[in-house]
Amino acid sequence: MTEQQIKAKQAFSLLDLTSLTDAETPADIEALAENARLILDNGDVIHVAALCVFPRFIPLARRYLDQRNLFAVHIATVANFPNGGDDIDMAVTETRACIAYGADEVDVVFPYQAFMEGNEQLARLLITACKRECGHKALLKVILETGELNTPELIDRASKLAIAAGADFIKTSTGKADVNATPQAADIMLRAIAAHDATHSQQHPVKAVGFKPAGGIRTLNDAMAYMNAVTEHLGETAVTPRRFRIGASSVRADLANVLTGQAITHNGGY
């Protein structure tokens, strides 16, 4: 393998392969599950970290993955999505439904409008309540929607608030905003995670927080920029699915092309 192929293989294993158009059919979910794996030229099979689908498709996605022996691929889903509403009861109810459907991970949208208006307590309570629903059954990934948090200070405060309230991951974007993942937002978020690591992870390793950029990541070079940023801030050992995900489907085609020369496109992701 070339150095580029080694990086592409690593990036593939970090993908949250995503389809959130709200127009999916069962055939689309089966195609997504098929794209969750890639057969390399030497016969090895590699797979993504997770599929991210709407809650109603969780059982179907799990079935299609299991049919392909992809038991290790997690199912992620979304709540309070995509607008990041300020109704805590609604966000909790949706999170509870996600767990009931069988989600391994729930990506909850941060109530960024309320937060920007100064209601930090509501944002904290919403995340804490959703984390309580997830318990030990599912990871809670909090989508900050950094493209809407229009200053570095707001991104920093939102990152620290989400981590303190119990987020297992902090994620840049829904993929539905005009501005999605950026290196600048990633740098701020990773600094917040690193600061948390420095004060907590030595005593409580299970509390190590993960990072997920999402939206606009289309090439191996795009993915590597975030992989390098994670390495810089959190160390090379953090570049694993347990601490780092890449929220993109469009990048899969470029990774597949690097690894096998056979690009497969999927149009439902971001």
The string of DSSP codes covering 32-62 is: HHHTTEEE-TTS-EEE-SEEE--GGGHHHHH
pLDDT-derived band at 251 (thresholds 50, 70, 90) equals very high
Angle of helix 152-165 versus helix 120-134 axis, rounded to 10: 40
| Res. 205: pLDDT tops 80 | no
Position 66 scores a pLDDT of 98
- Assess whether 171 carries a catalytic annotation: yes
Catalytic residue among 171, 197, 222, 254: 171
| Res. 270: pLDDT tops 70 | no
Cα–Cα distance for residue pair 4/220, rounded to 1 Å: 9
Position 217 scores a pLDDT of 96
Cα–Cα distance for residue pair 65/59, rounded to 1 Å: 10
At 199, list the tokens. Answer: 């004060």
pTM of the model: 0.94
For 109-158, write each residue's pLDDT tens digit: 999 999 999 999 999 999 999 999 999 999 999 999 999 998 999 999 99
At 132, list the tokens. Answer: 């309580």
The mean pLDDT value for 59-86 works out to: 98
pLDDT-derived band at 207 (thresholds 50, 70, 90) equals confident
Position 8 scores a pLDDT of 98
Kindly list the structural domains of the chain, giving each domain's residue range(s) and its CATH number in brackets, ordered by start: 3-260 (3.20.20.70)
The mean pLDDT value for 88-115 works out to: 98
Catalytic residue among 16, 86, 104, 107: 107
Task: Tell me which of 19-23, 140-144, 189-193, 264-268 is least confident.
Answer: 264-268
- Assess whether 141 carries a catalytic annotation: no
Cα–Cα distance for residue pair 11/49, rounded to 1 Å: 10
Position 150 scores a pLDDT of 84
DSSP 8-state class, residue 248: -
Cα–Cα distance for residue pair 225/139, rounded to 1 Å: 25
The mean pLDDT value for 25-41 works out to: 97
Average confidence score pLDDT of the chain: 94
CA 143 to mean position of chain CA atoms: 8
| Res. 211: pLDDT tops 70 | yes
The mean pLDDT value for 241-269 works out to: 83
Helix (H) or strand (E) holding 191: helix 183-196
Regarding beta strands 45-47 and 37-39, do their DSSP bridges make them parallel or antiparallel, or are they unpaired?
Answer: antiparallel
| Res. 19: pLDDT tops 50 | yes
Query: Which of 175, 90, 101, 192 is closest to 138 using CA atoms?
Result: 101
Query: Which of 35, 42, 108, 110 is closest to 73 using CA atoms?
Result: 35
Q: Are 107 and 201 in contact (CB under 8 A)?
A: no
| Res. 80: pLDDT tops 80 | yes
Cα–Cα distance for residue pair 90/96, rounded to 1 Å: 10
Task: Tell me which of 98-107, 203-212, 227-236 is least confident.
Answer: 203-212
Position 262 scores a pLDDT of 65
The mean pLDDT value for 228-254 works out to: 96
For 109: left if phi > 0, alpha if psi spans -120 to 50, otherwise beta; the answer is beta
Regarding beta strands 169-171 and 139-143, do their DSSP bridges make them parallel or antiparallel, or are they unpaired?
Answer: parallel
Burial class (CB in 10 A: 0-12, 13-18, 19+), 82: middle
Catalytic residue among 7, 131, 141, 212: 212
pLDDT-derived band at 261 (thresholds 50, 70, 90) equals confident
Q: Are 177 and 147 in contact (CB under 8 A)?
A: yes
At 140, list the tokens. Answer: 């809670």
The mean pLDDT value for 82-98 works out to: 98
For tokens 């991951």, the residue is: 169
Regarding beta strands 16-18 and 50-52, do their DSSP bridges make them parallel or antiparallel, or are they unpaired?
Answer: parallel
At 260, list the tokens. Answer: 């096998």
